[in-house]
Chain A
Amino acid sequence: MSELTITLLRLGYLVLLWVFVLSAIAVLRRDLSPRGAPRASRAERRRAEAAPATAGASAGAAAAPAPARRSGPTRLVVTSGPLTGTTLPLSTASILIGRSPGCTLVLDDDYSSSRHARIFPQGDQWYVEDLGSTNGTFIGDTQVSGPQPLAPGVGVRIGQSVVELQG
């Protein structure tokens, strides 16, 4: 075999090794996308696309008959993330959010801590407080340090999820 062939084989082999490594890394990239989404089969995705039609139709009906009796928020809504659409009624009790099964809102999110944040009422105002989470709790771009007042409609980012108070 000629010198050229040998060199090509030698370099080609290194390329093969790196093709393996890069393909493996491509497989890992699925971790970065929200949990579950890439694992959905085509059939499931099609069903999910059909869903907004039904949900949207009913939405108009639902919004009207559920007005707040008083001023102030009445529910906590997950507006983004895997649990989008989940609502919790607000009461006088504080709401614990995290991965631990004991939380009020149990997130299935590797980026949230087991006891991540707390949303609680005091006086006429709701507050959000970070409970020493690893990745932090954010309102917009600012990180929540101490207890901070939370107005309705303001999104609080916890891991991959965003929750907000709605009236």
Chain B
Amino acid sequence: MSAAVEAPAGRTVEPTERRPARLAELFLLILALAAGITAFAMVGRSVTGELPSDFWPVSLLLTGIGVAAHVVLRLRAPWADQVILPAVVLLNGLGLAMILRLQLADTKGADAWSQMMYTALGAGIAILIIWFLRDHRWIRRLTYTAMLVGLGLVVLPLLPVIGREINGARIWVNIAGFSLQPAEFAKIAFAIFFAGYLVTNRDTLALAGKKVLGLQLPRIRDLGPIIIVWAASLAVLVFERDLGTSLLFFGLFVAMLYLATERFSWVLIGLVLFAAGALVAASVFPHVGARMDVWLHPFDNELYNAVGGSYQIVQGTFALAAGGLFGTGWGEGYPYLVPYAFSDFIYSSLGEELGLTGLLAILLTYLLIVQRGLRTAIAVRDGFGKLLAGGLAFVMALQLFVVVGGITRIIPLTGLTLPFMAQGGSSLLANWIVIALLLRVSDNARRPSALPMRGTVAQGGGAMHDPIVVGAHDGTTPGGGVPVRRSAADAPSRGSTPSHPTEAISGPLDPRRDDPRGTTGGEHL
């Protein structure tokens, strides 16, 4: 009898699981790099008939980035998700290939080498974050700093000297020759702030209030925060004239409110508020209304020929149509006919050369990143990490929707860019930072904890049908024997546990209702 207990105990107690080898990541990374580098070569062959002059440096640098990030993950975040990094490298490589292709076709503004440099910089920052940030919970102390930084970044483009207006949207700043889109960084700051704020205030927002038609409505005074964010996002819409940025911030807040409170009423309130605000803004402010017109009537001849009219979006639609199901092939189409084919409209360029089949693969790759982020949010144990990972994953999905929706005319066109693909330093840097944070949270989520509260897995499939042998208090299971925690209330009873397992089972098990203190479980009362 006692041998039965000793055997599993001697066999198994392993405080740590083996580190994963991250072979899946390596394999996917090789595929992703192959896709990127093949694209570089195919682009050169079809546009100029030879390898592009930057082929070797760009290929080697991209490979170096992927391998360096992989090695750092092995060293510093061995439990982190294995799909995110290869997916990002693939998207980045495809974006580079398209920019290179447009550059070879002498498109004004397309610059593959600068994009490559920003990729390296972004990946470098991501690696530094993974290396030095050991625990994502550390960021929580930056909650209110993040709020100030976020608000500052949003206001930045409105300042007189540095703010710049490009194509009607005032979402750029120009400092010492470098132009920046601060909204990209602001979304990270806001995700951190919302996560920190909601994790402390979720209970009031979730529980107070009365029920109407099956919806738990919040109290009027708890509407304060959502009204403030709503007003701020409307201000962005009116003064910076960009629906995308506005939608991004407000959507992020509503999504994180929903994540934190699980109350669907917040989503309804958010949607109604935003729709009402946007409609009023469209009718009161002429420039917002003009954007709506371009969206609703792009094929109108007057709008098509107007400056800042629907020319771009119509050309983009034609490009997608020219691509068809399988595309024209790398370098065989005419994507440069669309204005800003390398940044805002890179989606239509890719659609023309890779077709619907390629676009769906790209969209699925984004979806994989988002899914991994949301999965991390489910698995991680602390509330702040949940909200942060969920918020960052959601904001990437929302940005994708806003960009792709704008190009395919589901929503009005905006100035946001496709993460990792579109040419633009701020977008690349910000999204690599997002990826670093997601990887860090996912490492903490999947790392087996040394704490006893982790009801760690008994590694034995074979134990499935075995009768139960082990005393309830010795903390081992027959299959694998990794310690299992029951409850805090159970702990005090350990001291009194008889050494003989038979007693452990028969003694305290007696359900004597009249004398609860006589039983071990009585401490639960």
Contacts and interface: CB of A to CB of B under 8 A. Distances in A.
A90 B506 CA distance: 11
A29 to B, nearest CB: 11
A83 B87 contact: no
Contacts of A59: 4, 466-467, 469
A84 B461 CA distance: 9
A70 B8 contact: no
A39 to B, nearest CB: 7
B323 to A, nearest CB: 11
B463 A13 contact: no
B37 to A, nearest CB: 11
Contacts of A154: none
Nearest to B330: A13
Contacts of A85: 458, 460, 463, 466, 468, 470, 477-479
B83 A16 contact: no
A62 interface: yes
Contacts of B486: 86, 88, 104-106
A17 B305 CA distance: 38
A105 B501 CA distance: 20
B28 A48 contact: no
Contact of B469 (A20, A62, A73): A62
A140 interface: no
Contact of A93 (B461, B466, B522): B522
A21 B357 CA distance: 12
Contacts of A4: none
B31 A84 contact: no
Contact of B31 (A16, A25, A35): A16
Given A51-B462, A58-B469, A10 B329 contact: yes
A103 interface: yes
Interface string A45-59: 001110110111111
A24 B83 contact: yes
B39 interface: yes
B8 A27 contact: no
Nearest to A30: B24
B461 A75 contact: no
Interface stretch (B54-62, B427-435, B512-520): B512-520
Given A63-B467, A72-B511, A108-B454, A23 B31 contact: yes
A65 interface: yes
Contact of A48 (B7, B461, B525): B461
Nearest to B46: A6
Interface stretch (B268-276, B358-366, B397-405): B358-366
B468 A102 contact: no
B355 interface: yes
B468 A87 contact: yes
Interface residues of B, number: 92
Interface string B361-376: 1101100100110010
Contacts of A102: 487-488
Contact of A52 (B39, B466, B508, B522): B466
A88 B502 CA distance: 14
B479 A51 contact: yes
Interface in B461-494: 461-464, 466-470, 472, 477-480, 484-490
A39 B463 CA distance: 18
Contact of A90 (B470, B488, B521): B521
Contacts of B480: 48, 51
B31 A20 contact: yes
Contacts of B8: 51, 54-55
Contact of B511 (A24, A74, A84): A74
Contact of B458 (A57, A82, A101): A82
A80 B477 CA distance: 13
Contacts of B462: 48-49, 51-52, 55
A57 B490 CA distance: 29
Contacts of A106: 453, 455, 485-487
A63 B227 CA distance: 64
A73 B73 CA distance: 50
28 contacts: A10-B329, A10-B332, A16-B35, A21-B365, A24-B28, A27-B83, A31-B375, A37-B461, A44-B459, A47-B11, A47-B12, A48-B479, A49-B462, A51-B463, A62-B467, A63-B467, A67-B506, A74-B509, A75-B505, A77-B468, A82-B458, A83-B455, A89-B505, A105-B487, A106-B455, A107-B455, A108-B457, A121-B511
Given A7-B329, A85-B479, A89-B505, 20 more contacts: A13-B35, A13-B358, A17-B35, A18-B361, A20-B31, A21-B364, A23-B31, A24-B28, A24-B83, A27-B28, A27-B83, A36-B459, A48-B479, A58-B469, A61-B4, A65-B506, A66-B505, A83-B458, A84-B460, A91-B519
Q: Closest 10 interchain pairs by CB? A: A91-B521, A58-B4, A93-B524, A10-B329, A36-B457, A52-B462, A55-B478, A108-B455, A17-B361, A85-B477
Interface of A: 6-7, 9-11, 13-14, 16-21, 23-25, 27-28, 31, 35-37, 39-41, 44, 47-49, 51-52, 54-59, 61-63, 65-70, 72-75, 77, 79-80, 82-96, 101-108, 110, 121, 166
Interface of B: 1, 3-4, 7-8, 11-12, 17-18, 20, 24, 27-28, 31-32, 34-35, 38-39, 42, 46, 82-83, 86-87, 90, 326-330, 332, 354-355, 357-358, 361-362, 364-365, 368, 371-372, 375, 378-379, 453-464, 466-470, 472, 477-480, 484-490, 501-502, 505-506, 508-513, 516, 519-522, 524-525
